[in-house]
């Protein structure tokens, strides 16, 4: 039987956690947004307010709904705040060790029947679930970026995920106004299995000198009708996340076609992670992003 989900915990107040908290609060749920970094937590509510104001300015939500949604979001650094949550959505860094450490900390705090969902872009749900105290109540809930704008949520059951957990999460997804698509638990699921190799190929195209950043992005926007060029999109996603997904594809499917481009590796090693660090394939220090190659 599907359970009622009315109190949500979101772990990780990065770009995805903030967007997920935003969507859940607008749908009427109480939301707790938790991060280990004090500055992330202190910035989070202001960022959500700014993003909702933009939606309100465009007439997508009313001022009353926005005020009510903001009143439903609380943030903090104490995992203990999540003890009454029906569903916890983990959206921390795309690193299996970091995610496992979070589960070890939060599982003893959560209600026995609470559902634990991960927003991982690529990592095996079955393997992540196996390291928790609740493989049957563990599931993948993959929001797209930016979560308030994108219509899709991929839902991924691990081998042990109970059918009623899948059904509860599917119903909850619909209640958020999103469309669920079910994916089998294969590396990077559906969207990133297709999207990330394209981004990686765009970085190879740059690396081999086939085109400049501007030429590659313009070509794909005007020539393939993509709303964003692949390098602009890589900067938006975060190059650390892009690289982590390519590594999961490469390791998990053992096919050299998924080899991460050495230029992507170098950018991540340099700390040039895209928009979130102010530099990636574009430099974001001035008002208009400037291509770096
Ligand atoms: P991000 O770097 O913007 O944020 C990660 C957050 O996790 C940071 O605020 C960090 O402080 C926090 N964190 C790290 N360790 C923590 C811990 N032990 N406890 C609590 N918080 C911790 O990353 P993001 O882009 O928001 O990605 C988060 C997750 O969402 C990843 O699994 C990623 O693959 C997935 N995802 C990302 C995108 C995207 O386009 N960026 C899209 C869909 C899914």
Q: Would you write out the chain's pLDDT as a tens digit for each of its 293 residues?
A: 667 899 999 999 999 999 999 999 999 999 999 999 999 998 999 999 999 999 999 999 999 999 999 999 999 999 999 999 999 999 999 999 999 999 999 999 999 999 999 999 999 999 999 999 999 999 999 999 999 999 999 999 999 999 999 999 999 999 999 999 999 999 999 999 999 999 999 999 999 999 999 999 999 999 999 999 999 999 999 999 999 999 999 999 999 999 999 999 999 999 999 999 999 999 999 999 999 99
- What does the DSSP 8-state code read for residue 14? S
Q: Determine whether the shortest distance from the Cβ of 120 to ligand 1 is under 6 A.
A: yes
| Ligand 1 geometric centre to CA of 268 (Å) | 15
Known catalytic residue: 151? no
For ligand 1, atom 8, the nearest C-alpha belongs to 14
pLDDT of 92 reads 97
pLDDT of 1 reads 62
Tell me the sheet residues that pair with 30. Answer: 7
Please indicate, yes or no, whether residues 65 and 210 belong to a single structural domain of this protein: no
Q: At what angle do helices 230-237 and 213-224 cross, to 10 degrees?
A: 110
Known catalytic residue: 51? no
**C-alpha–C-alpha distance, residues 140 and 103, integer Å:** 14
Residues spanned by the domain of 12 = 7-183
pLDDT of 2 reads 66
Residue after which a domain boundary falls, among 183, 207, 228: 183
Instruction: Tell whether 227 is covered by a domain.
Output: yes
Tokens of 111: 């209600």
Known catalytic residue: 167? no
Could you tell me which residues come within 8 angstroms of residue 210 by beta carbon, excluding any fewer than 6 positions away?
216
- For a mutational test of ligand 1's pocket, the pick from 16, 20, 122, 189, i.e. the residue with the most ligand atoms closer than 8 A to its C-beta, is 16
Please indicate, yes or no, whether residues 159 and 204 belong to a single structural domain of this protein: no
pLDDT of 4 reads 84
Known catalytic residue: 192? yes
Please indicate, yes or no, whether residues 196 and 246 belong to a single structural domain of this protein: yes
Instruction: Tell whether 2 is covered by a domain.
Output: no
Please indicate, yes or no, whether residues 13 and 130 belong to a single structural domain of this protein: yes
Instruction: Tell whether 61 is covered by a domain.
Output: yes
Tokens of 168: 């509860």
Q: Determine whether the shortest distance from the Cβ of 36 to ligand 1 is under 6 A.
A: yes
Please indicate, yes or no, whether residues 161 and 196 belong to a single structural domain of this protein: no
Q: Determine whether the shortest distance from the Cβ of 274 to ligand 1 is under 6 A.
A: no
Question: Which residue is it, tokens 């669920």?
Answer: 180
Q: Give the end-to-end CA distance of the chain in Å, rounded to a whole number.
A: 55
| Ligand 1 geometric centre to CA of 239 (Å) | 12
Q: Check if the beta carbon of residue 24 is closer than 8 Å to that of residue 31.
A: yes
Q: How many domains does the chain have?
A: 2
């Amino acid at each position: 039987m599907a359970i009622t989900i009315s109190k949500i915990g979101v772990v990780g107040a990065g770009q995805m956690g903030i967007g997920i908290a935003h969507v859940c609060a607008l749908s009427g749920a109480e939301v707790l947004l938790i991060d280990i970094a004090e500055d992330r937590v202190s910035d989070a509510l202001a960022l959500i307010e700014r993003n909702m104001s933009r939606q309100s300015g465009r007439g997508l939500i009313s001022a009353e709904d926005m005020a009510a949604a903001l009143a439903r979001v609380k943030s903090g650094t104490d995992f203990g705040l999540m003890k009454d949550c029906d569903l916890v959505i983990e959206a921390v860094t795309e690193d299996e060790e970091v995610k496992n450490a979070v589960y070890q900390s939060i599982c003893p705090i959560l209600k026995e029947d609470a559902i634990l969902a991960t927003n991982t872009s690529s990592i095996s749900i079955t393997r992540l679930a196996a390291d928790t105290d609740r493989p049957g109540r563990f599931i993948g809930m993959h929001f797209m970026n930016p979560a308030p704008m994108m219509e899709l949520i991929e839902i991924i059951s691990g081998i042990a995920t109970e059918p009623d957990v899948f059904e509860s999460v599917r119903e909850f997804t619909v209640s958020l106004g999103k469309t669920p698509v079910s994916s089998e638990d294969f590396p990077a699921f559906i969207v990133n299995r297709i999207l990330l190799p394209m981004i990686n190929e765009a970085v190879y195209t740059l690396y081999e000198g086939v085109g400049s950043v501007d030429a590659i992005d313009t070509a794909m926007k005007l020539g393939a009708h993509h709303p964003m060029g692949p390098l602009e999109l890589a900067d938006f996603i975060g190059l650390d996340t892009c690289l982590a997904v390519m590594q999961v594809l490469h390791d998990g499917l053992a096919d050299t076609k998924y080899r991460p481009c050495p230029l992507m590796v170098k950018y991540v090693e340099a700390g040039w992670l895209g928009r979130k660090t102010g530099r990636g394939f574009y430099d974001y220090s001035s008002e208009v992003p400037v291509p770096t190659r």
